[in-house]
Amino acid sequence: MKIATYNVNGINGRLPVLLRWLKIAKPDIVCLQELKAPDDRFPRKELQAAGYGAAWHGQRSWNGVAILARGATPVLTRRGLPYDPDDSHSRYIEAAVNGILIGCLYLPNGNPAPGPKWEYKLRWFERLHEYAAELLALDVPVALVGDYNVMPTELDVYKPERWVDDALFRPEVREAFHALVQQGWTDAIRKLHPDEQIFTFWDYFRNAWGRNAGLRLDHFLLSPALAERLQIGEVDKQVRGWEHASDHAPVWIELTD
């Protein structure tokens, strides 16, 4: 089983890129972030024509997450992260697909830090910690997949000394990510590539793609039952170089059936 995550940075504007990649890569499950489209503008018919059913949680202009399943329809179990009924951001969706509970998330950026956006990021992380512990307690196969907006280690960032005060790399968010892993989750890509510098995002500015000045922001956290099935995982870096591509590249893992 092949599971992928892809921050599309605007699903309708990047739809040709997404469809081209789906046709080539053929993932079984895909988590998408930054749809930047309300629910009624989600391209359900185009994705169905490509062979994918979908569950989505959209938002006009910002945020938005979706789960795609090849040849199936995801069974929606949750829209929105719990513990804050006033949170209006579309950043979490959850569905059952092929015997796995998939949580697709888009964690807040948090910049500028300090400030209100930074505080919101930390609160969101706290809510994620609490809910992730509940998911682990279910003792079912679970994957928390998406754009975490965190570089967990210095291996995950080009020139880490330039990012020490950024909300993506400040000690508080790295500690929050590591505390999440310590609940019992496995960081799949780092597990497979323990000593390799791996990037999933390259900014549009300062020729970041050409210089390979990237960041690893997109992660798979696997429950113990899924971690045992982990086989391989890679970044489809070439997609970042396609015309009109997102600033993220798709990332994928394969699990034994």
Catalytic residue set? 106, 147
Angle value at C-alpha 212, between 209 and 217, nearest 5 degrees: 85
Structural contact between residues 188 and 216, judged by C-beta atoms closer than 8 angstroms: no
CA distances (Å), origin 185, targets 17, 141, 167, 176, 190: 31, 11, 23, 13, 12
CA distances (Å), origin 252, targets 32, 92, 107, 156: 12, 19, 19, 17
CA 178/CA 98 separation, integer angstroms: 28
- Which tokens hold the place of 102? 């998939």
- Which tokens hold the place of 205? 């500015």
Specify the 3-state DSSP secondary structure of 180.
Answer: helix
Nearest of 130, 116, 178 to residue 150 by alpha carbon? 178
